[in-house]
C-alpha cells in the first residue's frame, strides 16, 4: 500500500522533467508566432503580461519586496539582460530564419560562456574538468553549425541571425554573472517579477523604435502568446521556484542538457527542420560538454 509520502516524492521527481519541455517549447513558440507578429512587439507584450501576472501573484502571496535601492535595481538589470536582450534577440533571430533547434543549442552554450568569464569577472578558478567541458561544448557546437552555415536550403543557418543569437547569449551570460554577483537577497518571487520589469524596460523601447504594430490575428498567434506567457514564463518561473524550495536545482541543471535535442525534435515534427547525422552528433557532444563543465 502506498504511503502518504510516496505521491509527494513522485510529484517531486516529475517536477524537474516538466522543466525541459517547458523551456524547449519556448523556442518552438517563437518559431510559430514570428510569421504573424513583429518579434519586438511580441516580446514587449509578453513581458508586460508576465510582469503583471507575477506582480498579482506576489501581492496575493504578500511577499516581502526589497528594502533598499540595490534590491530593486539589481534584478531589474539582470532581467534587462537575461529576459529583454536575450529573448528579444532570440525571437528576432528565429524570425530571420534561425531554426528552433539551433537557437536552443546556441542558448545552451551560456553555461560555457559563464564558466569562461567567471574567472576574470568573479575570480572563480576554471578547473581542468571545466576547461575540458568548455572545449567539448564549443567543438560540438561547431559540428552543428558549420555544415549548414550560410546554406540556402530550408535547413540552412543564416549568418546574420546566428550572430544575433550569439549576441543574445552573451547578454544572457552577463545577466547571469550580474545576478550571481548581486543576487541572493530578498524574496525569489519578488525578484522574478522585477526581472520581467527589466525585460519590459528593454523590449518596449525596441518595439517602439524598430517594431511594427501590424499583426496577423490568426489562432496560432494567440495560442503562441498564451503559451509563451502562461506556460513558458509564469508556469516556468513558479516551477523553478518550487524546485528551488525543494532543493532540486541540480536535477533541473542536469535536464537542461536535453533542451536542444528536444527543441530539435519538436522543430522537425512541427516545422520540418532537419539536422544531418554530423549535426546530431555535434549536438550530443555539445550537451555532454555543457554537462561536464557545469557539474558541481
**Model pLDDT for residues 154-186, shown as the tens digit of each residue:** 667 888 999 999 999 999 888 888 887 886 667
Query: What local confidence, expressed as pLDDT, does residue 247 receive?
Result: 58
Write the pLDDT tens digit of every residue in 194-251.
Answer: 999 999 999 999 999 998 888 888 999 999 999 999 998 898 888 777 766 665 555 5
- Taking the whole predicted model, whether its pTM rises above 0.75 is answered as yes
DSSP string, 113-153: HHHHHHHHHH-----HHHHHHHHHHHHHHHHHHGGGBT--S
pLDDT recorded at residue 10: 47
Confidence band for 4, pLDDT divided at 50, 70 and 90? very low
Q: Is the pLDDT of residue 138 over 70?
A: yes
Query: What pLDDT is recorded for position 3?
Result: 43
Amino acid at each position: 500500500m502506498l504511503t502518504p509520502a510516496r505521491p509527494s516524492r513522485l510529484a517531486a521527481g516529475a517536477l524537474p522533467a516538466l522543466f525541459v519541455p517547458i523551456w524547449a517549447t519556448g523556442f518552438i513558440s517563437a518559431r510559430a508566432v514570428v510569421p504573424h507578429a513583429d518579434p519586438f512587439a511580441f516580446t514587449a507584450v509578453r513581458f508586460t503580461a508576465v510582469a503583471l501576472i507575477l506582480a498579482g501573484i506576489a501581492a496575493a502571496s504578500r511577499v516581502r519586496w526589497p528594502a533598499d535601492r540595490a534590491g530593486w535595481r539589481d534584478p531589474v538589470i539582470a532581467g534587462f539582460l537575461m529576459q529583454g536582450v536575450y529573448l528579444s534577440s532570440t525571437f528576432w533571430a528565429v524570425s530571420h530564419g534561425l531554426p528552433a533547434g539551433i537557437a536552443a543549442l546556441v542558448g545552451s552554450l551560456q553555461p560555457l560562456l559563464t564558466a569562461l568569464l567567471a574567472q576574470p569577472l568573479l575570480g572563480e578558478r576554471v578547473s581542468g574538468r571545466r576547461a575540458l567541458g568548455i572545449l567539448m561544448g564549443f567543438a560540438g557546437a561547431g559540428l552543428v553549425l558549420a555544415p549548414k552555415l550560410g546554406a540556402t536550403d530550408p535547413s540552412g543557418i543564416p549568418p546574420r541571425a546566428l550572430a544575433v543569437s550569439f549576441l543574445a547569449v552573451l547578454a544572457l551570460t552577463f545577466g547571469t554573472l550580474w545576478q550571481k554577483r548581486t543576487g541572493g537577497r530578498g524574496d525569489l518571487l519578488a525578484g522574478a517579477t522585477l526581472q520581467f520589469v527589466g525585460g519590459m524596460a528593454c523590449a518596449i523601447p525596441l518595439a517602439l523604435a524598430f517594431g511594427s504594430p501590424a499583426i496577423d490575428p490568426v489562432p496560432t498567434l494567440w495560442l503562441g502568446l498564451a503559451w509563451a506567457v502562461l506556460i513558458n514564463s509564469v508556469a516556468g518561473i513558479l516551477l523553478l521556484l518550487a524546485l528551488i524550495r525543494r532543493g532540486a536545482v541540480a536535477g533541473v541543471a542536469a535536464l537542461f542538457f536535453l533542451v536542444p535535442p528536444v527543441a530539435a525534435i519538436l522543430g522537425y515534427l512541427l516545422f520540418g527542420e532537419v539536422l544531418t547525422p554530423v549535426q546530431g552528433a555535434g549536438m550530443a557532444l555539445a550537451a555532454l560538454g555543457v554537462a561536464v563543465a557545469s557539474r558541481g
